[in-house]
Amino acid sequence: MLGALIGGIVSFVISYVFYVAASKDLKREAADLRKLTISLIHLLNNAGVIEVKEFDPETGAPIKWSVSSHLQLVWRTEANSPDKLD
């Protein structure tokens, strides 16, 4: 019985250590994704794809934005003749 109690405590401690480590990694990943999302919204706003109506003055995060229903894409390609392919 004492062995089962000690085994349970050891299992709890090990699980808790891994839980704390995983939580820190997840919080860091979520913060990085938030920064990247905000950067992407700023890039899309500067490119004219979306129009940000309002930014949060403290964080710089967009609060309101609209997406244009018309978007023109230009795709430039070069074609090589078959004898020039490597």
pTM > 0.75: yes or no: no
> How many separate domains does the chain show?
1
Query: Which token pair is 41?
Result: 């919204």
Whose structure tokens read 């919204």?
Answer: 41
Confidence of residue 23 (pLDDT cuts 50, 70, 90): very high
pLDDT confidence of residue 50: 83
Is 72 a residue whose pLDDT tops 70? no
Question: E strand or H helix at 54, and its extent?
Answer: strand 50-55
**Cα–Cα distance for residue pair 86/71, rounded to 1 Å:** 36
For residues 80 and 63, is the Cβ–Cβ distance under 8 A?
no
What are the φ and ψ backbone dihedral angles of 69, each rounded to 5 degrees?
-85, -15
24-63 pLDDT, tens digit per residue, is 999 999 999 989 988 888 888 888 888 888 888 888 888 8
What domain range includes position 78? Answer: 2-84
